[in-house]
Amino acid sequence: MKIAGIDYGDQPVMLAPMEDVTDRSFRLICKELGADATYSEFVSADALIRNIAATTRKLAIDPAERPTAIQIYGREVEPMVEAARMVEEAGPDILDINFGCPVKKVAGKGAGAGMLRDIPKMLEITRAVVDAVKIPVTVKTRLGWDHNNKVIVELAEQLQDCGIAAITVHGRTRSQMYTGEADWEMIARVKENPRLTIPVIGNGDIDSPERLRDAFSRYGVDGVMVGRAAIGNPWIFNELKHGLYPDDNRYTPLSLEQKFAIVRRQIQESIGRIDEYRGILHIRRHLAVCSLFKGIPNFRQTRIAMLRASTFAELAAVLDSVEAKLRSGEPFE
């Protein structure tokens, strides 16, 4: 897949943008483990142009994560244009616009997926942003506002006419939030439209090599984006690729030891980026769903200790003992 001349390789699997999850450290880890491209957390255009420090920090990218996109959201043309110029200065390969976020504080104010209720405004913003920057602009959105308004096939064409270089479609409506299953038939219809020539990236519920294979071979998308399945599980990219290309030794499955080393690195980098206490709070979301700790008999007390630890020393001690027990086969109690 190529977006405006940028080569993403064959059948790319990208890390989806996720607020409070896809910080630079996590993105880099996913990239090292096989993700073909990364996206920043969404960045509020309004906060960016007011130079809010916590927001401008989100523009930092690492050369090793390229090709990478910075994503912005907002509901008015002028702030979006101004923010787009600031993002361009930060040097990402792609500027992505979020027209898909369903949460009330965003969509309720007309930004993110809220824009699916005002398509003329969405198109106006897209045109203005495309005109304001030299880097390629892409859009990530949903099927439509609700079940009765699945506008995506026509909308993708309208956005293409505004000059975007690719579109990512999450196969749910705003009303669905994250419930039900992503509708990949509908994503396929976007791709099948003969008038649509830009790449289509499919998104929603990809968590196994089987689903990934279907996305490409059955639904025909050009690229795939993986979100929730990567939280606490950055090696999913390695595992997905190994499933697709079992003979490719770049994707040999990771050992227990390697996975624990990655978890420790995540914790250390999170602490280094924020501070000890908040860094640990930040990483709990990953630990809570980490595949390393799934299905272990009698793990409940250890899980509680792991998720309550508030210093690095405490957390490291829990992890060391879990790893030792898993390796020796000693039971948890």
Ligand X SMILES: Cc1cc2nc3c(=O)[nH]c(=O)nc-3n(C[C@H](O)[C@H](O)[C@H](O)COP(=O)(O)O)c2cc1C
Q: Per CB under 6 A, which of residues 94..123 are in contact with ligand X?
A: 98, 100-101
Does 214 bind ligand X (CB under 6 A)? Our answer is no
Q: Per CB under 6 A, which of residues 37..56 are in contact with ligand X?
A: 41-42
Q: Which of 300, 297, 301 is nearest to 326 (CA)?
A: 297
Catalytic residue among 30, 101, 162, 290: 101
DSSP 141-197: EES-SSTT---HHHHHHHHHHTT-S-EEEESS-TTTTT-S---HHHHHHHHH-TT--
Does 223 bind ligand X (CB under 6 A)? Our answer is no
- What pairs with residue 37 in β-bridges? 14
Does 36 bind ligand X (CB under 6 A)? Our answer is no
Distance in Å, CB of 208 to ligand X, minimum: 11
Window of 27-35, 93-101, 189-197, 247-255 that interacts with ligand X by CB under 6 A: 93-101
Instruction: Say how far apart CA 4 and CA 201 lie, in whole Å.
Output: 14
Does 71 bind ligand X (CB under 6 A)? Our answer is yes
| 173 contacts 149 by C-beta, under 8 angstroms | yes
Window of 14-22, 189-197, 266-274, 319-327 that interacts with ligand X by CB under 6 A: 14-22
Query: Binding pattern to ligand X, positions 275-304, x when CB under 6 A?
Result: ------------------------------
Distance in Å, CB of 302 to ligand X, minimum: 25
Does 226 bind ligand X (CB under 6 A)? Our answer is yes
Size of the site for ligand X (CB under 6 A): 21
The question of whether 101 is a catalytic residue gets the answer: yes
- What pairs with residue 44 in β-bridges? 73
Instruction: Say how far apart CA 98 and CA 227 lie, in whole Å.
Output: 15
Binding ligand X (rule: CB under 6 A), the pick from 13, 16, 48, 72 is 16
Instruction: Say how far apart CA 302 and CA 309 lie, in whole Å.
Output: 11
Burial 54-63, CB ≥16 within 10 A → b, else e: ebeebbebee
Q: Per CB under 6 A, which of residues 169..208 are in contact with ligand X?
A: 170, 203-206
Window of 11-19, 145-153, 232-240, 325-333 that interacts with ligand X by CB under 6 A: 11-19
Does 140 bind ligand X (CB under 6 A)? Our answer is yes
Nearer to ligand X, 201 or 318 (CB): 201
Please give the residue whose beta carbon sits closest to ligand X in the complex.
Answer: 227
Q: Which of 12, 80, 77 is nearest to 42 (CA)?
A: 80
Q: Tokens 């405490």: give the residue.
A: 314
In the DSSP assignment, the letter for residue 37 is: B
Distances (CA, A) of 295 to 193, 286, 290, 299: 43, 16, 11, 8
Distance in Å, CB of 101 to ligand X, minimum: 6
Nearer to ligand X, 83 or 322 (CB): 83
**Residues with catalytic roles:** 101
Binding residues vs ligand X (CB under 6 A): 16-19, 21, 41-42, 71, 98, 100-101, 140, 170, 203-206, 226-229
